[in-house]
Amino acid sequence: MGAFAHTTFIPLFWWYGYPFLAALNIASATAWTASWKLSRQKRRNFAVNLIAIEASLHATLATIITGQESAFQFYLIPLSCLVLICPDIDRWKAGLLGVIGMALFLSLSAPPSHGWFATTSRIPEAVAIINMGISVATMAGFAIIIRSMYEAQERNLTWMASRDTLTGLYNRRFTSDYLQQLAERQKRSPFSCCLALIDIDHFKTINDHYGHDAGDTCLVELAQTLTGHFRTSDIVCRWGGEEFVLVFPDASVQQIVPAINVYRQRLHQHPVVHGTLRIPVTLSAGVTALVPGEDFDTAINRADHLLYRAKAAGRDRVFSEPACDDGGLTVGEERIPRRHAGA
């Protein structure tokens, strides 16, 4: 963009009788092109230094030769800001260059007390307006870029604080806060909600037999398929290790258990692929309701107890406890009395 702007000024300066400035603009356009190439080569420090030198020299000479009324000195303002926000320049150096640039702008804008500046300018007044407009637009562009960078950094920090690094799922901290919010909402206005604690069966054996990379692949694969299998409103979380917590707002245990069993059967038919390996994976789950007025830790502990029973009963199965008066226990879709749950 800078090279294009300087190129458009070449015929303007030539037409109004400033051949030296026309030739200077050719050199400036070349400098901007070289800066663009340096930036593409990841040599941004050199690129910024080159632009800073070119723009400072060009703005100073153009202001002296054509007069203050041409407003070429205003380009020093966005240039100083560019140097200040450039992350590739040391902070002290950027601060020094920024101060020098602003000081140069003030000296070129102050009422002339010497004969350095041209007393009359052959440059049309419209060019001065254009110069000031470009400077203001560039400053606005910098402000937009800085805001976009800040918002992107904020989103990235929020993502890192709420997500598991390996799987990209929500992490335990986020899910605990979410469950706390659901519990508070249920106190004000009761609604159906349940959660499931899922654990990969014999995960240590998978790691020992196939390697930890294969174990990570299993975790990532389950994270992706769990997310795709359930509703977008459901929360899928890596609770820790090979354990996952799934939160199902506005759903009952009776609705969720069949869905988890469908997913469990799907794992039987689709082993996890890791390179040339096909790793059979099964899971056990404990499903329970989040009862209005109950602390979410109680529900988690109940789901953990149900998961333990599923493991003890032979793994690859779902145990659930709906919030009902008789306190029945469900294995898959079959209800059995509590006193026989450990059989």
The pLDDT tens digits of the residues spanning 215-245 come to 999 999 999 999 999 999 999 999 999 999 9
User: Which letter does DSSP use for residue 334 in this model?
Assistant: E
Local confidence band at 2 (pLDDT 50, 70, 90 cut-offs): low
Q: Which residues are catalytic?
A: 242
- Which percentage of the chain shows pLDDT scores above 90? 44
139 band by pLDDT with thresholds 50, 70 and 90: confident
Round to whole Å and give the CA distance between 222 and 280. 12
pTM metric for this prediction = 0.63
The one-letter amino acid at 23: A
Position with higher pLDDT, 1 vs 267:
267
Ranges 140-149, 272-281, 333-342: which has the least confidence: 333-342
Torsions phi, psi of 73, nearest 5? -65, -20
pLDDT in tens, 71-101: 888 888 888 887 787 777 788 888 888 888 8
How far is Cα 146 from Cα 148, in angstroms, rounded to an integer? 5
State the distance between the two ends of the chain, measured CA to CA, in whole angstroms. Answer: 76
